[in-house]
Amino acid sequence: MKLVILCAIFCIAIFVAPSLVDNQGYVFISAGNYTIESSVVVAVGIIILTFILLLLGYQFLRWIISCRKLFSGFFDRRREVAARENLYLGIIALLEQRYSEAHKLLIQNTHSNHRSVASYIIAAQAAIQTKNEKNCLNALEKVQKLEPRALLACLILKADLYASLGNYVKSVEILEKARVKYENNPVVYRKLANLCVNLGDLKKLREIIPYIKACKAFPFDDFLQLQFAVYKQDLQNIDNLVDLNELWNKVSRSLKKQPVILGLFARKFAEVEDSKMAEKIFIEGLRKFNAKAVLQEIYTCNISLPKLLAKLEAEYDNPEKQKNVDLLRALANQYFAGKDYCLALEYFKKIVEIGGINDDYKKIVCCYESTKLSDKSNLNLNKVSV
């Protein structure tokens, strides 16, 4: 555009200049007591010169501004590099469990908003490890101001903070708030379930079990352990067969396939003197599900179950299973529970030949003592490791 204007002025000058040679015209400018007199040619020359000077001044100003931006960009890049380095060093310090140093590095790393959020979150984690409530809450407050979408992360970290301080009740309150706002978040339910276990609040755990299952907050084995803890508590409060049958009927089909649940209920049925139901549960478990795990559950049952014993003997008649340690141990323990110490001793000896554990030797000692063979019991007692 500037080039076009200059060309236009030059063309006008070419056509106008010859006519101004003989008659240069007259320009008179008066401002107060000052007057300027000039020919038209000189006035036009002054205007053109003024335009060129203004154009050069404009270019000079642009150059100054670009230099300022250049230096500003240089310092910004320096700050960016320093912030990135602090972030890396802070994470490394956190992983190396130098929590105070990690907090110091990260809390100063506020050049970029996004990097500040990350730095404050990691700084809060470092403060949790040092159990510094004030530093943690300050960092989380800044996170919420910078990034409102990080509310859930802040609530989880607050819950972790109070859990680390031993204030489990406060931690549960915070997670309950998070649960209301983020109903299907598995992390919230996972942490809430662990806190319920630590507090022994199985009532609350029982309440959230369906939600844990719905959002798949735990792997199946861990979820099974939670269910086991709940049912174990329920069974401790049951002392009659009616309530026990009612609870057993409420157990889902998938859980009835799990040996630990089968063993838990079978032992309880045996305790309330419903040996038929206990035998049925164990025998169906052996037939349908993981036999090794069911045999291990049978071993923990210290009540004699005749039909179950007959089933185990039938299994032992299979030559391929005669060296199955779990089967031998279940058989031996059933004989031991039925006070048939001679047969129990026979099977425990077979277990020891294959490879026994401390409990096997202790049971052998008990068998010898019960059959009045105390001299041999002393020999076997020496084999029990301390």
pLDDT in tens, the chain (386 residues): 666 776 776 667 666 666 655 566 666 677 767 777 777 667 777 777 888 888 888 888 887 777 666 555 556 666 666 666 766 566 666 555 566 776 666 666 555 555 577 778 878 888 888 888 888 888 888 888 887 888 888 888 899 899 888 888 899 899 988 888 888 888 889 889 888 888 888 888 888 888 888 888 888 888 888 888 888 888 888 888 888 888 888 888 888 888 888 888 888 888 888 888 888 888 888 888 777 888 888 888 888 888 888 888 888 888 878 788 888 888 888 888 888 888 888 888 888 888 777 888 888 888 888 776 544 444 444 454 43
Q: Is 100 exposed, middle or buried (0-12, 13-18, 19+ CB in 10 A)?
A: middle
- Going by C-alpha positions, the residue among 362, 360, 367, 365 that lies closest to residue 378 is 365
> Residue 60, class by beta-carbon neighbours within 10 Å (0-12 exposed, 13-18 middle, 19+ buried)?
exposed
Cut 0.85: pTM above it:
no
Position 14 scores a pLDDT of 62
Q: What is the pLDDT of residue 375?
A: 46
The CA distance from 13 to 273, in Å, is 123
Q: Is residue 116 within 8 Å of 84, Cβ to Cβ?
A: no
Task: Check residue 87 and give its pLDDT.
Answer: 66
In the block, residue with structure tokens 């993981």? 290
Give the per-residue pLDDT at 270: 87
Which of 82, 106, 84, 102 is closest to 92 using CA atoms? 102
Non-local CB neighbours of 239 within 8 Å, separated by 6+ positions: 272
The pairs formed by 166-171 with CB atoms below 8 angstroms and a separation of 24 or more are 168/195, 168/198, 168/199, 169/199, 171/195
Tokens 């340690």 -> residue: 325
Neighbours of 132 (CB within 10 A): 19
User: Packing angle between helix 202-215 and helix 220-236, nearest 10 degrees?
Assistant: 150
* Residue 1 to residues 6, 65, 234, Cα–Cα distance (Å): 9, 22, 89
pLDDT of residue 259: 87
The Cα–Cα gap between 264 and 111 comes to 58
CA dihedral 150, 151, 154, 155 (to 10 degrees): -150
Give the length of the chain.
386
Cα distances from 78 to residues 71, 183, 298, in angstroms, run 11, 44, 69
**CA triple 88-95-223, angle to 5 deg:** 125
CB atoms within 10 A of CB 230: 17
pLDDT score for 143: 82
Q: What is the pLDDT of residue 361?
A: 82
- C-alpha distances out from residue 152 to 132, 138, 143, 155, 157, Å: 21, 16, 11, 5, 9
Do 120 and 143 touch, CB atoms closer than 8 A?
yes
Per-residue pLDDT at 92 = 67
Distance of CA 242 to the CA centre of its chain: 42
